[in-house]
């Protein structure tokens, strides 16, 4: 069997991804929290990287495959194959605003300022709505933007809704639904077909259970 390198994101998908790989027998030990490369069974190697970098590694072939969120796939539009919905890490991408002004802002003709970690998704979404916006890119703590006067609204992912409530924002529109996906490098799909087929088959089976 060909050696297979899989990029796994640190952050909120990490523990479910590692649990899945252990359950399927690819990883024999728990990562120690410091190593960025972990060798597993039968030539399997896991690379731990920032969520925003998984698709860069897979697209360039530094990893044969990767686990990433659909949100990141939608934002980055990379040249990789998306093969399995892993059904964990579920969240929704929403537009949210302060409640007192929410309705007015949505209907207001002037330029809406939208803070987001997803500038391309936001631009596509508001263009499709024929709504003029200024997209302001942030790298985290997006909910802060309306509170400090940086933006009128946000487009961000919601899991429990706790962060929106804590920052006095209300959802006004759902933009996308996301969960973790297995993606594969285009060349590896051909050159390492047997190994790719095996991990894809196992992950599809795991998702069905």
Chain residues in the site for ligand PRP (CB under 6 A):
12, 140-143, 156-163
Closer Cβ to ligand PRP, 72 or 157, answer by number: 157
Task: Quote the least distance from Cβ 129 to ligand PRP, whole Å.
Answer: 22
Assess contact for 178 and 14: CB atoms under 8 A: no
Residues sharing a CB contact under 8 Å with residue 188, sequence separation 6 or more, in sequence order: 4, 61, 64, 65, 196
Query: Between residues 20 and 145, which has the closer beta carbon with respect to ligand PRP?
Result: 145
Question: Considering only CA atoms, which of 53, 10, 4 is closest in space to residue 184?
Answer: 4
Minimum CB separation from ligand PRP for residue 11, in Å?
7
Give 154 or 184: the residue with its C-beta nearer to ligand PRP: 154
Least separation in angstroms between CB 120 and ligand PRP: 16
Q: Is 108 or 147 the residue whose CB approaches ligand PRP more closely?
A: 147
Tokens 């936001």 sit on residue: 122
Q: From start to end of the chain, where are the E strands?
A: 4-9, 37-39, 44-49, 65-69, 81-85, 91-97, 112-116, 133-137, 153-158, 170-178, 180-184
**For residues 64 and 71, which CB has a smaller minimum distance to ligand PRP in the complex?**
71
Minimum distance of ligand PRP from residue 166's CB (angstroms): 8
Tell me the sheet residues that pair with 105: none
Q: What is the distance between the alpha carbons of residues 78 and 58, in angstroms, rounded to a whole number?
A: 9
| Minimum separation from the CB atom of position 91 to ligand PRP (A) | 7
């Amino acid at each position: 069997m060909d050696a297979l390198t899989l990029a796994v994101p640190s952050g909120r998908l990490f523990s479910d991804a590692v649990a899945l790989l252990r359950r399927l027998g690819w990883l024999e030990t728990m990562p120690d929290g410091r190593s960025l490369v972990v060798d597993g069974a039968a030539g399997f190697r896991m690379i731990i990287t920032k969520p925003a970098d998984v698709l860069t590694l897979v697209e360039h072939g530094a990893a044969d495959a990767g686990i990433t969120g659909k949100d990141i796939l939608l934002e980055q539009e990379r040249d990789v194959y998306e093969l399995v919905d892993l059904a964990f890490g579920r969240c929704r991408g929403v537009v949210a605003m302060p409640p007192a002004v929410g309705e007015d802002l949505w209907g207001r003709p002037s330029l809406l300022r939208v803070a987001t970690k997803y500038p391309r998704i936001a631009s596509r979404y508001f263009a499709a709505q024929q709504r003029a916006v200024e997209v302001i890119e942030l790298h985290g703590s997006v909910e802060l933007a309306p509170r400090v006067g940086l933006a009128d609204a946000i487009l961000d992912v919601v899991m429990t809704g706790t962060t929106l409530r804590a920052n006095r924002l209300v959802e006004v529109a759902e933009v996308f639904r996301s969960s973790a996906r297995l993606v594969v490098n285009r060349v590896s799909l051909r050159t390492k077909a047997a190994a790719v087929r095996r991990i894809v088959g196992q992950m599809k089976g795991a998702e069905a259970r």
